[in-house]
Structure 1
């Protein structure tokens, strides 16, 4: 498995993001899905990583939006065939490492209550539940989490 920082506007990655959107819409109504669009993912303050199989196929992706206050984890997704192999853990680790090199010491994220695997992963990696942050509403279909690093 190779993880690298790439642009999100590649056909394989666009397909992964479309799969993520479709999956989230089976769990939550559209007004409770706080996804970044492609234009937002291409901004200079966004770190975007892609996990590729040994054959080079894109099997996962994730982003961190770097702000002066924190880094926000967004668009984490691993294709169903690649799950259970530590891809999400490695993706998030690579993103956090790069964000820390850019001065980020506090990470935030919003996910949903119907994604127990994601919640368990984030908790294992040191994220703790908290209240809403930034411009997010207090949505009962949102779980907000935070992680601080030295």
Structure 2
């Protein structure tokens, strides 16, 4: 059974999953990895969700404030053996619910063009492409998406 835990970036399971994520991204981003890595620091993230199956950490995600009423979804990852089982969708929904509970009205996120499965997940979850924001303006590989949140 899938269990979702709200925590922060000090969580050891989150840190282990992020190491796997960074390794994966280094492979697919190749020469662009250093650029993206500078924006993916996990120190001091207060809003982290870790997904567990049978007490084993299998996925994670986080958000951080982006603007007054908007959060940025960060560090979404599911271990390859557990992809396609709804873990990412559950983590994303939990992050959105948490953000809405805190009064945020929307989410933004960035992913890479080579991450077709991630883009499909976000679009199925109600995210729509938006112009690249912040540090991603003018970055060809970046795909930025946004979604309005329902208030609780």
TM-score w.r.t. the length of structure 2 is: 0.88
Q: Could you tell me which residue of structure 1 aligns to residue 6 of structure 2? A: 5
- Which residue of the partner structure matches residue 83 of structure 1? 83
| Unaligned stretches of 5+ residues in structure 2 | none
- 1:87-120 CA-to-partner distances (Å, cap 9, x unmatched) read 0000000110010011111110000000111000
The total of aligned residue pairs comes to 145
Q: After TM superposition, what 4+ stretches of structure 1 lie above 4 angstroms from structure 2? A: none
Give, in angstroms, the shift of residue 13 of structure 1: 2.3
Q: Deviations over 1:12-38 (max 9, x none)?
A: 322210110011111112244254223
Unaligned runs of 5+ in 1: none
More strand by share: 2
My pick for the range that moved more, 86-95 or 67-76, is 67-76
In structure 2, the partner of 1:26 is: 27
Task: For 2:64 and 2:14, locate their aligned partners in 1 and report how far apart those are by CA, in whole Å.
Answer: 18
1:124 aligns with 2:128: no
Contact kept in structure 2, 1:24 and 1:33, CA below 8 Å: no
Counterpart Cα distance in 2 of 1:83 and 1:116: 13
Do the aligned partners of 1:50 and 1:61 also contact (CA within 8 Å) in 2?
yes
* Distance in structure 2 (CA, Å) of the matches to 1:53 and 1:17: 17
Task: State how far apart, in whole Å, the 2-side matches of 1:138 and 1:3 are.
Answer: 36
The equivalent of 1:62 in structure 2 is 61
User: TM (normalized to structure 1)?
Assistant: 0.89
Compute the displacement of 1:140 (Å). Answer: 0.5
Conserved? CA contact 1:113–1:142, under 8 Å:
yes
Check 1:142–1:40 CA distance in 2 against 1; reply closer, same or farther (3 A cut): farther
RMSD, aligned α-carbons: 1.6
